[in-house]
Every structure is written in structure tokens, then in C-alpha cells.
Amino acid sequence: MPACPALFISAPASGQGKTTVTAALARHHRRMGREVRVFKTGPDFLDPMILARASGAPVLSLDLWMVGERACRTLLAQAAREADLILIEGVMGLFDGTPSSADLAATFNVPVAAVISAKAMAQTFGAIAFGLARFRADVPFHGVFANRVGSARHAQMLEEALPHDLTMLGHLSGNDAIELPDRHLGLLQAAEIDDLDARLDRAADALASTALAQLTPAVMFEDAASAEPLLPLLNGMHIAIARDAAFSFIYPANLQLLEALGARVTHFSPLADETVPDDADALYLPGGYPELHAQTLAASTRAAASIRAHAGAHKTIVAECGGMLYLLDSVTDTQGLTTPMLGLLPGNATMQQRFTALGMQQIEHSAHGILTGHTFHYSRVSTPLAAVAQATRAQSDAPGEAVYCQGSIVATYMHGYWPSNPAFAAALFHGRAF
């Protein structure tokens, strides 16, 4: 049973600074020469980009529903064998969601450090810390860390407000040179923050002397029962993946699965007007921000022609969320500007001022079973296409996202977590899922 120091970074809510603190910790320990493995709770794409830059290693998802307890157990045990430290960043507040970050921490006995933004707050800090620590007895609680602290006196007031048996792990001052910038779907992508490494280094410097930066006792991570070996279901297949600032919402675990199934994976950039390789058997258009780059995509005529030729040759295209938007006739932004897209799927996407769908979903196939995933988008699609399948929401039978097929194209808003059902994922790329 492998063992490794581990810490779960959570908070009372979103926006408290979990990612900043987790990334700072990862960078600090990496600079100390330690191997750090960071995980992100839930179906996030953006935070893992920051955390991967900070830690120097891919950041995988942990979620008791989407990933599954057995797979989470396997991932943690593998990390414990390879790393000197495991960090897990939570999602939303500690007890939010079903299952929650607290459920994950309790399942694997990982001690929780709660990050609380202390801006415009004094003694109430102690009440929030007390509630987080006492709400569930089965959640191992390590201590609290104050973020956005105004002064040394402010930090002293916060610590004095804590119950005597709760540990103050330190604090970070409110500092625009450390904070990570964001937009409507969350943090900016790592590649879009020009001074990201400098921000991470400043944050690491700021917490290096805090108790939070000290290694916690090792946690024992039990191996899960052996899973069925993967069959070479994609053996010899070449899968081309669009990957740039417009198409970047990709689970590292999905790519690892494609290669484990025998596929050769390459990348190209539609934004840079790069073309789909001629020998590609299948194409994956992931989610991202095509709406922010619509004019550039519309002007990338070589890339567009190669994707149309790929479709015209009846080769598989799997498109998720933003990738689906790119295939439509057009995209209309929040200012009313409409930009033509590839025209391979009939319809238009219109951006909204707030999100139109959010949450865990799954697609069930009569032959292959259930593929889990999630949805999160700010657009609405109008299309004459009839859905060939409908996702359902987690923990209910309420309808979720539609799945559309046209020719060799499969498209949906749902981001699939392919390791949840490798056979289903392979069928998608063979064009036999629907």
C-alpha cells in the first residue's frame, strides 16, 4: 500500500483563491526538488492548466461520480508511488455538490486545508473556519489558510478569532501581482497569462515560510482491485486533435486513453491555419473558446478546407461543445456580431450573458453502456437536426445535452470523460457509437 504526504485544498466557496494557493504550493515544493502530483476535483479544464504549469506534470481529474471511486483510488495510488507530495484542489465549497470535495477527502482520508478569503472580514473568519472543521466528523481537517489579508494586524485578528484547537496555517496578502486573472468560464488559460511563471514564483515565495508549506504526514493509498486490461480497440488509428487557444478543453486522461487503446495522436492548430493531416483517420474538435477567436477561425481557410475534406471523405469527426460550434453555419457573439463557421452542421450558436447549462451528465448506449462527463457553456444552438441520443443528468433522469449526427460527424455539448467507458470512446472514433 503506497504512502505519500497529501493535502486537500478546499474553501467555503468558489473565488476564495484555491487555485492560487494550490499552484503556489506546487511551485514551492517543485523548487525544493520534490516530485509533485496535483489533482483537480471535478470536471475542470482551466485550473489544471495553471496547476500543470506550477507542478511540471499533467493534472488529472478526481471525481467520485464522473471518474469513479475505483479509478480515483488507482490514480492516487499510482501518484503515491511516483511523487513526494500529492495535492488535490477541491471544487466550489468543501461541502458543495453530490458527491462533494468533502466526500472525496473523507473517502481517501486526505487532510483538508481550507482557504478562506479574509477580504472585508475579521472575527467572522473564525466562525467560518469553525463550521468547516466541525460540519462533518469524518472529514480530516488540517487547518485554515487566510487569503487576501490586508495587514499584519489583520492577520493577527484572524488568528485570534480561531477556536484554540484549529490551526492557522498562514496567510497571503491581497496582491494583484499574485492573483490569477479570469473571464466568463473561469481562469484565463495558462498560455494566455504572459507573466504566469512570475506570478507563481511570487506566490510560492510568499507562502514558503508558512505552516501550509510544511509537508504533512504520509497518507496510505490503497490500490483498487485490478481493472480489466484495455484491448487495442484503436490500434493503428491516427487521431488528429485541434489544440490551441480556441480548442483546449481536453482531459489529459482522455489523451492517455486514446494512446493506451493503440491510437497515434497528433495535434494541429486551426487558429494558426494548420491543416488536418492527410493520413488522419479521425478528427477530434474539443471545447474551448471559438467564440473569442471567431474572426481568426473564419479567416483560416486552409484549416477549414482540410476539415471539410476530412468530412467529405467520410472520416470520423468527434466534436464537443466549442468544437461543435465551429462545425455550425455561424456563431453570434453577445454584441450581435455573426461570424460564419465551417457549415458542416446546419444551425447557429448564440452566446449568452450567463451560462446556459452546468453539471454532470452521462450518455447511455445500448451496446456499450454509460459514458460519464459534464457540460458547461454560455451559448445556445439552434439547429434543424434531430438528436440521435440525449444525455441525462447525474443522480436523475432529467434530460441533458443532445447528441447530433450528420454523415461521419458526432457532436454534442457534453464533454465526455472517456476512461469511464473505453469501449464507448473507441466506438466514437470508429464512427459506430450511434
Catalytically annotated residues: 321
Q: Tell me phi and psi for residue 313, to 5 degrees.
A: -85, 10
Torsion on CA atoms 103, 106, 109, 110, rounded to nearest 10: 50
Query: At 337, which amino acid appears?
Result: L
Cross-sheet strand order for the sheet of 348-351 = 338-340, 330-332, 348-351, 379-382
8 A C-beta contact, residue 73 and residue 221: yes
DSSP 8-state symbol, 195 = T
* Positions of E strands within 33-75: 36-41, 60-62
Give the closest residue to 345 by CA, choosing from 332, 326, 367, 358. Answer: 326
Give the closest residue to 258 by CA, choosing from 240, 276, 229, 234. Answer: 234
How far is the C-alpha of 187 from the C-alpha of 23, rounded, in Å? 13
Q: Which three cell numbers stand for residue 336?
A: 450581435
Residue 38's DSSP bridge partners are: 87
